[in-house]
């Protein structure tokens, strides 16, 4: 398997499990309905962990354009591979969202709230404030990338690293996710948002394109800053 295919499959798996847990919690007549924020953050954490387990040995398990760009910015990843990684991540995220749509097919019509349906696919701010929303996504991804590099400097029992990363994602979601839904990953947000836009979802509303740039720009800038600060401090 090539690294590009690995990133596509890994990001698809990430979105299937991540968007899947959100669908289970927010869509009507799901057995997981009203499971709450802790269920969602745990679901996303395990989604990251097991997606990295699946493909990390082939591609490094970036699964996130902000991580890919951040690593390239400090010389830890080849710039010539960045466009292919990002395209693979975007395609995987889109396909993962299509899978979730099909899996929960009868539940869309049973759910009246268009915002809840959009929330299955992508993020939205709790309070719409452009500067604060960009800041949240930027700082969240700064902490994500800085933390990932710090975790990488530790020695764990063989095979534990992805699970530790998954628990780190849970911590970010519980502590920093309440403002914007912690996209902290342009592909995870934009790919499923595109799927929401094109899929024939019963009763769907707007895909909220006026907000869509924030979970793209914020994570890329914040993640790159996190990598540069880590390299400056620790070499």
CB 173 within 8 A of CB 44: yes
Res. 1 pLDDT band, cuts 50 70 90: low
Encode pLDDT of 129-154 as tens digits.
999 999 999 999 999 999 999 998 88
Cβ neighbours of 28 (radius 10 Å): 13
Map residue 178 onto helix, strand or coil.
coil
Residues belonging to the chain: 235
Query: What secondary structure does DSSP assign to 14-56, as a single string?
Result: HHHHHHHHHHHHHSTT-TTTT--HHHHHHHHHHHHHHHHHHHH
d(CA 192, CA 120): 9
d(CA 159, CA 49): 11
In the chain, the N- to C-terminal Cα span, in Å, equals 32
The answer to pTM > 0.75 is yes
Helix extents (H) in 60-105: 65-73, 82-103
Encode pLDDT of 158-216 as tens digits.
789 999 999 999 999 999 999 999 999 999 999 999 999 999 999 999 999 999 999 99
């Amino acid at each position: 398997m090539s690294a590009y295919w690995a990133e596509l499959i890994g990001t698809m798996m990430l979105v299937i499990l991540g968007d899947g847990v959100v669908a289970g919690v927010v869509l009507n007549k799901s057995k997981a309905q009203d499971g709450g924020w802790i269920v969602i953050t745990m679901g996303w954490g395990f989604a990251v962990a097991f997606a990295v387990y699946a493909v990390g040995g082939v591609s490094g398990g970036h699964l996130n354009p902000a991580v890919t760009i951040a690593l390239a910015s400090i010389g830890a990843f080849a710039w010539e591979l960045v466009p292919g990684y990002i395209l693979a991540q975007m395609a995987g995220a889109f396909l993962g969202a299509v899978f979730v749509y099909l899996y929960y097919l009868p539940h869309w019509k049973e759910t009246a709230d268009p915002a809840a349906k959009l929330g299955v696919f992508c993020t939205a701010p709790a309070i719409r404030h452009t500067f604060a929303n960009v800041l949240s996504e930027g700082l969240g991804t700064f902490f994500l990338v800085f933390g990932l590099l710090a975790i990488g400097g530790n020695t764990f029992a063989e095979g534990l690293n992805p699970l530790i990363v998954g628990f780190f994602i849970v911590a970010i979601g519980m502590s920093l996710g309440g403002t914007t839904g912690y996209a902290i990953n342009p592909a995870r947000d934009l790919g499923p948002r595109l799927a929401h836009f094109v899929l024939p979802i019963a009763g769907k509303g707007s895909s909220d394109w006026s907000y869509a740039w924030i979970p793209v720009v914020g994570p890329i800038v914040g993640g790159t800053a996190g990598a540069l600060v880590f390299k400056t401090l620790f070499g």
